[in-house]
Amino acid sequence: MCGIVGLHLRNPELYPRLGELLTSMLCEMEERGADSAGVAVYGDPVWSPPGTVTVSVLESGLSAEQLAAAVGDTLGTAVTVEEADQTQLVSMPLAEHSDDDGADPATAAETLKKAVLQAAPGALISGFGQDLAVLKGVGHPRALAEAYGLRQAQGWQGVGHTRMATESAVTPGGCHPYAVGEGQCMVHNGSFSNHATIRRELTRRGVEFDSENDTEVGARFIAEKMASGAGVKEAVDALAQAFDGFYTLLVSNRDSFAVVRDAIACKPAVIAETEDWVAMASEYRALADLPGIENARLYEPEPNHIYAWSRNAESRNEASGSGQSPARAARQREMSDA
């Protein structure tokens, strides 16, 4: 079964409430999957401070202090480590000048990820990038949301997943979201039946895997397509051609949010939109607590059609050539006040 939820906030006044709203959505989907739960939060000022890149780490075997010291030594620069339940969030400041090494978030995240794996070779990297924190765990979704401190989280976008395992073991590595590209996440309701075949093909091309999970194969397939220049639509179309199985997918990165269902569309999905937010969930009841839901435009996504929203596209319309959108400027002000 599994439950998925996603919330993309358009109104910055709601950013401080992201965690509270996402918690209610996630907990409402606990009956669809009660063996694990994971969330990705975009823009929390504690978990992924502005001006840094963050790597989300599970099973490092080190304390926060040990991990910060070891990674700092390797990089020759100070890093911070926040803890949320079992996840350690390692953040490194981005270089200030755009021509410096380490100013590009993708490169910086890659550097930090390598340093973490050098300090903690057995660790599981559950997410990496600018403004992104990924928290995963095994257990009851409601208990996990409390353990993560999800209710207090802030930011502009979040996705969540409640898991009922079908294709691989109940472990943190088998838990969604799968964050396999810089700032990218994917959550999945459904199952891919030919994932082992595609995993072998990807492995031959040098792709490495963290788990035996079918969704991870889908996420890495999409990440590989996008790394070679495909857009999200092209990548998802390629997935539809290559994979056998059922899916409702939510694919996010730090600025966008996309929903797609397979052609048969037996896995459910509901989308709700208001001026203040866009939300999707496996079922309407996960959306019932959102502010203004009574006047939201509610619809079921059509099969084989990609629905995507982009924070940049929306804010670009408002921007006046300053290079920084008003929405982002407002967010930074708000985060620094917080």
Partner 1 sequence: MSTVTDTRTFNLADTPLREVNRALHQDDVAGSIAISNPRGAHSVAAGVNAPVEITIEGHVGYYAAGMNQQASITIAGNAGVGVAENMMSGRVHVRGNASQSAGATAHGGLLVIDGDAAARCGISMKGVDIVVGGSIGHMSAFMAQAGRLVVRGDAGDALGDSIYEARLYVKGQVASLGADCVAKEMRQEHHDELRELLDAAGYPEDDTSDYTRYGSARQLYHFKTDNLSAY
- Residues forming contacts to partner 1 in the complex (CB under 8 A) are 264-266, 268, 270, 283-288, 298-300, 302-303
How near is the Cβ of 302 to partner 1 at its closest, in Å? 8
Nearer to partner 1, 93 or 303 (CB): 303
At closest approach, how far in Å is the CB of 201 from partner 1? 30
- Is 175 one of the annotated active-site residues of the chain? no
Catalytic-labelled residue, pool 2, 27, 175, 185: 2
Least Å distance between CB 284 and partner 1? 4
Residues 75, 160: Cα–Cα separation, whole Å: 32
Tokens, residue 103 = 């100013």
Smaller CB distance to partner 1: residue 81 or 286?
Answer: 286
**Nearest residue (CB) to partner 1, 200 versus 299:** 299
Nearer to partner 1, 78 or 264 (CB): 264
Rounded to a whole number of angstroms, the minimum distance from the CB of residue 232 to partner 1 is 23
Query: Catalytic residue numbers?
Result: 2
